[in-house]
């Protein structure tokens, strides 16, 4: 990873994603998680405070050592064991059918080969396992979508490969997940081009 991606961007994302407007949605996304959980794009640990008591451990998949360091204070207050367990969501270092659930918040937008990553999630989840997700993606309104397509190249360049235009629900369904819960809305406190939200649960 380059200097900007390794040292600067994790700090920017820590500040940008530590948004009080997102906290109720993080809490809702984490609700119902139980057992052994794999979290894609752990980042600086912004979900840690919302892990339910039924979670037994969390395997944190995070490519940035800087982000992991930024999570230190949150990790020390975690109510469940959290282990830095992988660097790449496209190649999870876990056996087949080894996790009860998965968690992804503001992550599916950045993974280069999302199809491969979702196949890896299906591989490591137990039958009936659930992916709890809170993501941003393509907007429901045409005028917003036009701006998303215009701004997507800049977003990808300066925000760690983030895509504004991914249809999260369609991509999950194409990967073989069944979406059992889905809420789409524009988040507060941010422009609509980056705040078209998808919050829900998808099962295998």
We report the CATH number of the domain holding residue 77 as 3.40.50.150
Helix, strand, coil proportions of the chain in percent (round to 5)?
Answer: 40, 25, 35
Cβ neighbours for 58, distance < 8 A, ≥ 6 positions apart: 36, 37, 38, 39, 51, 80, 81, 82, 83, 103
pLDDT for 3: 58
Domain limits for position 22:
3-203
Report how far residue 159's alpha carbon sits from residue 5's, in angstroms, rounded to the nearest whole number.
Answer: 9
pLDDT along the chain (204 residues), means of 10: 59 64 95 97 94 97 89 92 92 96 96 95 97 97 97 88 95 98 95 96 96
pLDDT for 116: 96
Beta pairing partners, 108? none
pLDDT for 33: 98
Give me the number of domains the chain comprises. 1
pLDDT for 64: 87
Closest by alpha carbon to 117, among 140, 133, 139? Answer: 133
Closest by alpha carbon to 110, among 193, 19, 5? Answer: 5
DSSP string, 159-170: TTT--S---HHH
């Amino acid at each position: 990873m380059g200097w900007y991606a390794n040292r600067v961007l994790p700090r920017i994302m820590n500040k940008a994603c530590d948004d009080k407007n997102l906290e109720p949605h993080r809490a809702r996304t984490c609700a119902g998680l139980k057992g052994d959980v794999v979290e894609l794009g752990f980042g600086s640990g912004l979900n840690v405070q919302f892990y339910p008591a039924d979670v037994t451990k969390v395997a944190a998949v995070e490519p940035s050592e800087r982000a992991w360091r930024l999570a230190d204070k949150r990790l020390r207050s975690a109510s469940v064991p959290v282990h830095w367990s992988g660097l790449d969501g496209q190649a999870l270092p876990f056996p087949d059918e080894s996790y009860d659930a998965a968690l992804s918040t503001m992550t599916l937008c950045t993974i280069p080969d999302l199809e491969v990553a979702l196949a890896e999630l299906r591989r490591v989840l137990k039958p009936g396992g659930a992916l709890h997700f809170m993501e941003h993606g393509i907007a429901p309104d045409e005028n917003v979508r036009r701006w998303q397509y215009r701004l997507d190249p800049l977003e990808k360049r300066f925000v760690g490969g983030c895509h504004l235009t991914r249809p999260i629900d369609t991509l999950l369904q194409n990967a073989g997940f069944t979406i059992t819960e889905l809420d789409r809305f524009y988040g507060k406190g941010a422009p609509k081009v980056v705040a078209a939200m998808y919050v829900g649960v998808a099962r295998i």
